């Protein structure tokens, strides 16, 4: 089955791997490191596609304005489901129309 193409303004969920001494409340799949002084875990990030670049990479924007460039075929990236859109609507950025047209 072909994956749906991303377009400017799409809400996406990016699964980011982190490692710290104190995982936060949103941490999932938490594992201690080899010596037990830190933890590896996954956190879902709720971003908006600001632009699709000509080389196929996506410019993603957080609700606070930070940007990230990610490959469109990254396995950690997916479209937000209808449940994500309802449950986490406050975590998605609402980009001004001018920023979406980049």
Domain with 67 in it: what CATH number?
2.30.30
How far is the C-alpha of 57 from the C-alpha of 10, rounded, in Å? 14
Lowest mean pLDDT among 3-12, 52-61, 71-80, 88-97: 88-97
User: Residue 97: its pLDDT value, please?
Assistant: 47
- Checking 38-42 for CB contacts under 8 A at 24+ apart, the result is 41/17, 42/15, 42/16, 42/17, 42/18
The answer for residues whose C-beta is within 8 angstroms of residue 99's C-beta and 6 or more apart is 50, 61
Which structural domain range is residue 66 located in? 11-87
Assigned domain for 53 exists: yes
101 pLDDT exceeds 50?
A: no
Reported as a single tens digit per residue, the pLDDT across 18-73 is 989 988 888 899 999 888 789 999 999 999 999 999 998 999 998 888 999 999 99
Assigned domain for 97 exists: no
- Whole-prediction pTM value? 0.77
Over residues 90-102, mean pLDDT: 56
How far is the C-alpha of 99 from the C-alpha of 102, rounded, in Å? 6
Domain count for the chain: 1
Backbone angles phi, psi at 86, to 5 degrees: -80, -50
Query: Any alpha helices (H) in the chain, and if so which ranges?
Result: 82-87, 97-100
Assigned domain for 42 exists: yes
Assigned domain for 26 exists: yes
Assigned domain for 102 exists: no
């Amino acid at each position: 089955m072909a994956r749906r193409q991303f377009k400017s303004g799409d809400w996406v969920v990016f699964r980011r791997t982190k490692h710290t001494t104190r995982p936060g409340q949103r941490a999932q799949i938490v594992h201690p490191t080899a010596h037990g002084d830190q933890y590896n875990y996954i956190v879902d990030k709720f971003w908006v596609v600001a632009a699709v670049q000509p080389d196929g990479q996506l410019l993603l924007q957080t609700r606070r304005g930070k940007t990230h460039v990610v490959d469109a075929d990254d396995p950690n990236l997916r479209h937000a489901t209808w449940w994500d859109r309802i449950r986490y609507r406050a975590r998605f950025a609402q980009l001004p129309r001018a920023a979406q047209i980049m």
